[in-house]
């Protein structure tokens, strides 16, 4: 363990048994105990599937985490990213001692405050004031130490009016604000935060990010931050670790880590359309596949607001077309067309189509204007004779958000389009 390391994780693993709770567990426990008495290795550690949610597997045992190794230095903010089911929450629960590891060792120096999910650490029947003192006592603080921080906590959370009310009557946003304020202000050596901040409003998210920076840079404390918000990861963290199927697949700088994560599942960014039967048109042109790429021309799994986006559509040209028009529409989950691209309205479009065969049509969007969300992409080709090909829901595009206006924070719009603009008082 290096001199400044405050956390060291060695060969960490967590195994769970699938199926009904209690079915056969006594016999398994006796078997494990007997093997331990004989000085043998736990037989169940040799079996089990990796935590891959895309396959059913053939074992009743699954490794939520396996062979995870890393160190965190004092004062560092480590971002932990990965898809749902990658093992992020399990790792934080192990670090917070909510559950015990199956294999490996965790060495921590100092007090840990955790904000894992809405409801963690608070007693619903106690008031906000009582929960502040309870959490402080759990962290080993004296009543006087907690009292010195009390007003600061309440002011940060913005819940002075409700501090004598049982927290079970709080809204989820108020609950999270108070829980974060308690965790951040009671001077833990290590602050563990999962993506519960998404419950709070934009103003509180900004305050929370600022507080975590202050805790790390100003007080030399360590922060472990799990989020799917790449803008927050980029704005807050010094280093990134990427988890996939319960194992560590990347450790390093933030920019490289985000690139690795975004490109980890390239199959999702290139969708074959050649076999789609739910299409309409005269078949003078037929869409073959669609690929989403970044400004460097590299395939990506998700888009960022404000970043360049290339949409490459491979088409099969069956006959020579007169004045073809290609249209790409981005539609939200409510079925609303958010915006479209059309070569008919683009002054810089160069549409030199071949007479027959396959050709790639590229649409270049210099600054992708949609906020965080999931969108459906519809492809249509027209000619003077009418619709040649039309495919609804050609692919699903996930936009991971981004700092569109270069303000240091992600835009929280849920509707509309992002447009660069300026204001003047005349």
Domain coordinates in residue numbering, the chain: 5-110+189-262, 266-399
Q: What is the pLDDT of residue 197?
A: 61
- Nearest 5°: CA angle at 99, between 145 and 181? 30
Give the residue-averaged pLDDT of 128-156: 88
β-bridge partners, 382: 325, 387
- Residues 85 and 160: beta-carbon distance below 8 Å: no
Alpha helices in 60-117 (DSSP H): 88-95
What's the whole-model pTM score?
A: 0.60
CATH entry, 266-399, from 2.70.50.60, 2.70.70.10, 3.40.50.150, 3.30.70.980 = 2.70.50.60
Burial of 118 from C-beta contacts in 10 A (0-12 / 13-18 / 19+)? middle
The pLDDT value recorded for residue 348 is 65
Contact 76, 59 (CB under 8 A): no
pLDDT at residue 9, rounded to an integer:
94
How far CA 255 is from CA of 190, 236, 239, 252, 259, in Å, comes to: 24, 12, 9, 9, 6
Residue burial 188-201, b: 16+ Cβ < 10 Å; e: rest: bbbbbbbbbbebbe
Q: Would you say 302 and 396 are in contact if contact means Cβ atoms under 8 Å apart?
A: no
The Cα–Cα gap between 216 and 262 comes to: 27
In the predicted model, what is the mean pLDDT of residues 259-281?
70
CA distances to 45, 73, 192, 247, 277 from 14, in Å: 10, 24, 19, 11, 45
Residue among 221, 257, 227, 222 at smallest CA distance from 239 = 257
Query: pLDDT digits over 48-63, tens only?
Result: 445 554 445 556 778 8
Predicted confidence (pLDDT) per residue in 72-111, tens digit? 998 899 999 987 778 998 999 999 888 888 889 999 988 8
Does the domain at residues 5-110+189-262 carry the CATH identifier 3.40.50.300? yes
């Amino acid at each position: 363990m290096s001199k400044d390391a405050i956390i060291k994780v060695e060969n960490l693993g967590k195994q769970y048994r699938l199926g009904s709770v209690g079915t056969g567990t006594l016999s398994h426990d006796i078997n494990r105990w007997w093997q331990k008495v004989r000085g043998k290795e736990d037989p169940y550690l040799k079996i089990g599937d990796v935590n891959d949610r895309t396959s059913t597997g053939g074992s009743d045992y699954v490794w939520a985490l396996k062979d995870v190794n890393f160190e965190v230095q004092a004062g560092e903010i480590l971002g932990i990213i990965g898809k749902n089911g990658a093992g992020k929450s399990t790792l934080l629960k192990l670090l917070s001692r909510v559950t015990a590891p199956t294999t490996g060792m965790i060495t921590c120096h100092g007090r840990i405050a955790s904000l894992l999910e809405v409801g963690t650490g608070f007693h619903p029947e106690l008031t906000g004031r009582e929960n502040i003192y309870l959490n402080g006592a759990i962290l080993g603080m004296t009543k006087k130490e907690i009292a010195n921080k009390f007003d600061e906590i309440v002011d940060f959370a913005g819940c002075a009016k409700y501090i004598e009310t049982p927290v079970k009557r709080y809204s989820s946003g108020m609950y999270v604000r108070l829980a974060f304020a308690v965790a951040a202000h009671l001077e833990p050596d290590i602050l563990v935060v999962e993506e519960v901040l998404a419950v709070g409003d934009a103003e509180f998210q900004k305050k929370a990010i600022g507080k975590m920076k202050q805790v790390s840079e100003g007080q030399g404390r360590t922060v472990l931050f799990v989020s799917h918000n790449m803008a927050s990861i980029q704005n807050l963290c010094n280093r990134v670790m990427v988890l996939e199927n319960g194992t560590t697949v990347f450790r390093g700088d933030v920019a490289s880590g985000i690139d690795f994560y975004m490109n980890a599942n390239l199959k999702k960014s290139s969708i074959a359309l050649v076999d789609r039967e739910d299409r309409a048109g005269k078949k003078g042109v037929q869409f073959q596949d669609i690929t989403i790429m970044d400004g460097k021309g590299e395939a990506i799994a998700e888009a960022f607001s404000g970043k360049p986006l290339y949409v490459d559509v491979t088409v099969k040209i069956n006959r020579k077309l007169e004045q073809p028009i290609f249209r790409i529409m981005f539609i939200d989950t409510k079925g609303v067309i958010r915006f479209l691209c059309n070569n008919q309205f683009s002054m810089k479009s160069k549409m030199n189509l071949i007479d027959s065969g396959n050709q790639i049509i590229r649409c270049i969007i210099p600054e992708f204007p949609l906020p965080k969300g999931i969108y459906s992409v519809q492809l249509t080709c027209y000619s003077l004779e009418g619709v040649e090909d039309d495919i609804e829901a050609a692919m699903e595009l996930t936009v991971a958000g981004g700092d569109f206006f270069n303000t240091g924070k992600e835009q929280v719009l849920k509707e509309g389009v992002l447009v660069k603009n300026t204001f003047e008082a005349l």
